[in-house]
Chain A
């Protein structure tokens, strides 16, 4: 690879507007398209600092800086449009987290890459509303947090409380949320308000290794660890009254529950298995990439197809997982308030995936094309009137749920037409890391983190307090910066801001 000084590197970057930078061809070898990333002044500094650090002599190991990773993705076969970095972009395995890339399905050389989906397949966010107000919840929020903690198993090695055998698991993998629906864990309306209606139809459990299934079975219905959480939040600010009303968010102080979780060990195993297969496929089909971590296979190769089918099964696993936790949350609230979940109006507002690859139709150079859109740490944000969004949101655009980090705000955005044309209907997914996990552990004390949350009036239940500093707000970019950048750049629109009052975490 070419070694250049930081100033030379900068020649390949061009600020095309206050919120958007272009990565020109040649920044990395063999780029097929240009790259682009969305930042404001604060995030821009983080982004360029990362690049500068990597240019210092003697810097080896770890991930490449995000900008480099975006450019390497632009060099993958079959990519169309641009390789897009969202404001929360940070280095990840192969693809940066917060990178979106689309590949032309009609090009036989186009690839699918597990690195472009991420290890936590169909990690996503679900938001439930209630008709409760902050004043109803504050007096009993400790009990409520405890009750949620008792109902939803959390942490590394946690096990779910919904009895399942191997056959149930096979069915759940194939049916996704339809399984939860059939078994009575969710409401019919929940399915309506879920990306893909909670089920990827091309899922094929027979393409999933036994090992993945064994890992996944006991974990179904558990939150997991890492950045996953369940939060009781209240509406803090409403920016778009009409859109918020369509989502059933009518007033400031209204209580919501946000669940952020994914496919647990199951998805991780599916991704790991696929990476092994793909290395072979790359050798056979002579696919060259700039980075070994960008393992991939042609979409139409057996390996590519097997991965897509297994990935869909993992996506279904994640939906069943979030659905099971929805069920447990409703139970916890029902017990605490001695009211049926229906009477508490505990409807799912929406459920988004931010680690997934999907086949979608987009307009490229004035022509409608079918693309395989990879979104890693990026949320789909379809505009009003798009046929794939629920009827209730046809006039507002798809709700986009942006989870903050422990103790920070979360946001609800909506998709825009501009986002559809600029970023293939994609936007940010959360705060995005600023410090690595190791660095966070070194620099921050977990006791400080917990005290700080307490002083902010946030009840917290954690399974492993010693890992809390990895998730401390200081380890992340400021989610408000991220969301404001998306709003200002026009790729999605701010609707509601949510503030946490209780957190449960792994």
Chain B
């Protein structure tokens, strides 16, 4: 979390974003005050008195009232979540004030140290929002007895938990083919992947053997027992 705060603070031009520690109550309060004073400016100057008393016990109340006035969605969240929203809000305002200036900004391409990997695994390119995916998860979840949830990905992770902790539940008779056929296909694909991997392992072993191998026998040592 601290890194995100630092990034946003320095984007907003905070004087010393590097030394900011969100766990430090006092630093936290002064950053909130700084945001209102410099960036958000929701209150008139004289109304900021409550936030300005950063040593006072009533600061917390003022802060809550301030968030309510801003209609912050993070009011119920943790202190860090609340601050994060404030920072995001400030960044949004900053952008809105200088659209022309920021419009042409480009994201700096991070240096490509590793070549970009194009995944050939179809599972990596699944479209989680497609109706086909959703209905598939729905069917599998019903078979495994997983309760409803809006996000199919959460149901899928619940399914993986069930499969890990207990032996696989038997599908009901009517659904046998729906479950078993794709499972068989997956098994065959897996066996093929495994064979390729094993072949590569064997090739590597043979390559090493070319360097290390020196099998010898010495029949003089041999002795047949009685």
Contact = CB atoms under 8 A, between A and B. Distances in A.
B208 A182 contact: yes
A444 interface: no
Contacts of B214: 183-184
A155 B166 contact: no
Nearest to A421: B167
A388 interface: no
A326 to B, nearest CB: 11
Contact of B212 (A160, A184, A218, A395): A184
A177 B218 CA distance: 20
Size band of the interface chain A makes with B: 35 or more
Contacts of A506: 225
Determine which residue in B213, B217, B218 has the highest number of CB atoms from chain A within 10 A of its CB, and name it: B217
A183 B218 contact: no
A453 to B, nearest CB: 19
A304 interface: no
Contact of B213 (A162, A184, A390): A184
A391 B194 contact: yes
Interface in A443-468: 463-464
B223 interface: yes
A407 B203 CA distance: 39
Contact of A163 (B202, B216, B226): B216
Nearest to B214: A184
Contacts of A222: 225
Interface in A313-341: 327-328, 331
Contacts of A149: 224
A463 B225 contact: yes
Interface in A58-101: none
A184 to B, nearest CB: 2
Given A153-B223, A158-B225, A464-B226, A188 B194 contact: no
B215 A327 contact: yes
A192 interface: yes
Interface in B49-67: none
A252 interface: no
A181 interface: yes
Determine which residue in B206, B212, B214, B226 has the highest number of CB atoms from chain A within 10 A of its CB, and name it: B226
Interface string A216-234: 0010001001000000000
A43 to B, nearest CB: 32
A242 to B, nearest CB: 14
**9 A-B pairs with least C-beta separation:** A155-B225, A184-B213, A158-B225, A159-B223, A188-B205, A161-B222, A188-B202, A184-B215, A391-B194
Interface of B: 165-167, 187, 191, 194-195, 197-198, 201-203, 205-206, 208-209, 212-219, 221-226
